Every structure is written in structure tokens, then in C-alpha cells.
Amino acid sequence: MPGSPYSAGMERVRDSYDIVAERYAEELADELEGKPLERALLRCFAELTAHVDGEVADVGCGPGHVTHHLAELGCEIVGIDISSRMVEVARKRFPNHSFDVGSMLELPSDAKWAGVVALYSIIHMTPEHRQTAFQEMARAVRPDGVLLLGFHVSDDEHASGKSKYLDQWWGESVDITAHFLEPDDVAEEVAAAGFTVTTRVEREPQPGEYPSRRCYLIAIR
């Protein structure tokens, strides 16, 4: 993709997450405790990547809770986030893990990672950005490596393919758009980048979380 990896609105995503980083950690960093399905999927990812050489990457790692959980499951892992404040928060919370500032539109690795986790980090991207991100993931992951994606599908006010704009988040001024994604479309985009989708799980919202329907895909490079 020509130009900066922060082009076409991604800088607004970065700046918005910088603003809410500490509150985000306060509100969501313990969310896995109440999400057995997500924990099961992460364990599945850890077991699949255990048979592939190399570390794994948590791309869009936020405050680092998924990175930490995968490390607890035995993964050698690095967390990567576009927001430098999120990375600062993650480093403070989990000083024994590695976290770097970076964009999934320009990943550092070249066929070295055993896998990539990207939970809800593609929801702010246009289709063009997603195409680039999936191509970067395919470039960064070894053959037989694993991709685990999570994203919002819809809610009571937004169907798949629609978007929600936020200018306020936890009382802070932000400038960010979240896209509700059709699972078939995402599966096709992932396949076009060189992955084979092996698992697709959809679920309804749980009490205490944002009330969206969600989808998870596991794919093999």
C-alpha cells in the first residue's frame, strides 16, 4: 500500500485510542475472566501455533490482556498496537512481556511468526485497509501459521455492513468509526490474502459487554 500506514483516517484511530487508553484498560482489561468462549478460542490458537516455529503476535493488543493470557498459555508473544499510549499502558501492566508500537498495515515480520491474533482490531478499517492488513498478516506468518480474528457483526441498531461513528467515548472527545462486518465478506478477504478458514464461530452478546453479535475466524496460512 503506498503512503503512510497511518493514512486515510488511521491516524484518527491512533489518536482516539491514545486519548482513552487508561480508561480502556480500567474497563476492559479483565474482560476475559467472563468470556469462556474467547478463552477457549485463545487456547485453541495456542495449541495450534505450538506446532509452528516462531513467536506469535497480538496485533491491536490494546492494554495487553490478551497478550498476557496467551503468554500464560505458553506462547512466545509480542503485542503490537497503533496507539503509543496503549503500548505504554500495556508495558506498565505487564512489564515481563514485549510490546511495540506498530500498524497492521505495515507489520515488521516476514514469514517469521507462528501466528497472529487480531481481536476487534480490524473494525475501524475500510475494506481497502483490511485487504492490506490481511496481506501483511499473510506475509508475516509462516506457512501453516494461524490467524485468529474477532469482530463485531451487528447490533440492534446496525446491520452488517453499517458503521457507527463515535465523537465521545467515556466522556472523552474522539474521532473514530467502527464497522459492523459481514462474516462471509471477512472470510473471503482472508482467503484472498492466502489463508484457509478452518473455523467460524458466531455468538450473541453477553450481559455486561457492548451488545453486539460477534464472529471469530481461525484460518491457516
The mean pLDDT value for 197-204 works out to 98
Q: Quick count: other Cβ atoms within 10 Å of Cβ 199?
A: 14
Q: What is the tens place of the pLDDT at every residue in 179-200?
A: 999 999 999 999 999 999 999 9
- The upper half-sphere exposure of residue 169, i.e. CA atoms within 13 Å in the direction of its Cβ, equals 22
d(CA 96, CA 93): 9
Q: Is residue 170 part of a domain?
A: no
Q: Is residue 173 part of a domain?
A: no
- Flag whether pLDDT at 45 surpasses 80: yes
pLDDT score, position 154: 98
d(CA 168, CA 140): 35
- Flag whether pLDDT at 8 surpasses 60: no
Q: Is residue 44 part of a domain?
A: yes
Number of domains in the chain: 1
- CATH number of the domain within which 26 lies: 3.40.50.150
Q: Is residue 60 part of a domain?
A: yes
The mean pLDDT value for 56-82 works out to 97
Q: Is residue 18 part of a domain?
A: yes
Cell of 213: 453479535
Q: Is residue 184 part of a domain?
A: yes
The order of strands in the sheet holding 212-220 is 98-101, 77-81, 56-59, 113-119, 141-155, 212-220, 196-203
| Residue 6 pLDDT grade (very low, low, confident, very high; cuts 50, 70, 90) | low
Residue with cell 500500500: 1
Domain region containing 153 = 10-165+180-220
